[in-house]
Chains A and B, each alone.
Chain A
């Protein structure tokens, strides 16, 4: 059974179609990343799954329950939606107590969750004195409070320092390994790649990829980047690659060859035999960022 399943999920805001016939199948257990460019529909999708927005059409299930009856499943879901929002004049502990009381959660877990996210020492300080990273940690503590089967986190590492990012990544991976399902959206593609077993990539409201991380990366061809010492040799270098059956692209005086990394020594030898001195030769392994730009057609560095 999928932990999250949608079919034809669609949301219109007036004339704007924010989510367009979205079909999702999220496996149970493990960590799944959710990425897409700005305006791709990630936040709207998450809000529909959490019962905050009513879909225009389509259907969905979370933990086997229809999203039309969120009260049937939300007690088993922990969530952090966009930036954390709490009551500024209450302490961290009081804020969690407000939500634990509202949700009927075990209040004895509050201190434990605050310890887990590293706020044990600051739990009696008012929320308005917290740094962005501390606010984020409190948001994660709130998401963990119900001991959820499904954790939906939107930008959980936003505002955290590098040590904090590693800490939260380790926590999420541990939760996934323990059988919880973690659905995490993030701008930090390297973090998604490091933490996630599976990935859902959306663009213009629809899914462009859904599957394992390994599957996604294997689809994106590895490349070899090479540059001749004398630019006049570049054409001959391209010809060497073409003779071996590989496609090349000129990039700022160098060439990028769509070839596996293990062909780099062969190219080096062929170039030497042809009297071409190489000033650069590098095998570039495929990563999520490349896959993201390739699949969304977005060559800018920013993501949603």
Chain B
């Protein structure tokens, strides 16, 4: 708990709030704005040249239309979380503060669990703020875009907001925890962020092109499947629908989380702090 509170002193500084919190909220608001301007007839093309636009007034008027923007941005929000976790973990090594952290709290697993819990809570709070902002801006823009929001406030609509929030939280924490593990292994924020982001943004998709079974269990595929509700959901950004069922994705997500924390714990507990 002390490590958790100590980490929050760092997380609550303006740079972090504006940097990572601002990136989450800002990205989602931008996408929400573009989505509603697109269906409103403005000259914004989000369909990537496809014959059929994937953002329509009908789609946004559905009971889960309020969470359309944040759902489609889950993978980008995951990369933001990855950068947050990786920079926080590797930053202790880069700045040299890790030695004073371990002298102040010699139980390294307590330090790790406190840090990860604080970072996860930052993401949870950030996602809540992001979702509130996205739904709020969507509701404001809806009348001008010809979107009927009456279904958003029904029981189904509110349930969609709740379940999407939980799913996206899980989807975003997977890259975050993996980013933390890479950071502990490499002790470099630059390497951890570049390797992690490259894998989640492009790497896994490229590899899946040659080895399609990766699309059934790879961490990026799992994260995306969790965000859109598994095989029954639409593909992110109008892409292919996920190949992983929701239940399987949830189990794999927990597995990736446990594996990442285990790698971080074992590495941190066994390694000498030499510089």
Question: A: which residues have CB within 8 A of B?
Answer: 13, 47, 50-54, 70-71, 74, 77, 79, 81-83, 85-90, 94, 97-99, 101-104, 142
Contacts and interface: CB of A to CB of B under 8 A. Distances in A.
For the complex of A and B, 6 pairs with smallest distance between CB atoms: A85-B96, A102-B6, A52-B273, A103-B104, A70-B106, A101-B6
B272 A104 contact: no
Nearest to A72: B106
Contact of A99 (B96, B100, B272, B274): B100
A81 B2 contact: no
Contacts of B111: 102
Nearest to A48: B272
Nearest to A105: B104
B212 interface: no
Given A52-B272, A98-B6, A98-B9, A87 B97 contact: yes
Nearest to B91: A87
Given A53-B273, A102-B3, A71 B9 contact: no
A71 B106 contact: yes
B9 A52 contact: no
> Which size class do B's interface residues fall under?
20 to 34
B13 A90 contact: yes
B18 to A, nearest CB: 11
Contacts, number: 77
Interface of B: 2-3, 5-6, 9-10, 13, 15, 95-97, 99-107, 111, 272-274
B96 A83 contact: yes
Given A47-B273, A54-B272, A90-B13, A99 B106 contact: no
B15 to A, nearest CB: 5
A52 B103 CA distance: 7
B272 A50 contact: no
Candidate in B5, B10, B103, B274 with the most chain A CB atoms within 10 angstroms:
B103
B95 A47 contact: no
A94 B103 CA distance: 18
Contacts of B9: 90, 94, 97-98, 101
A171 B230 CA distance: 65
Nearest to A73: B106
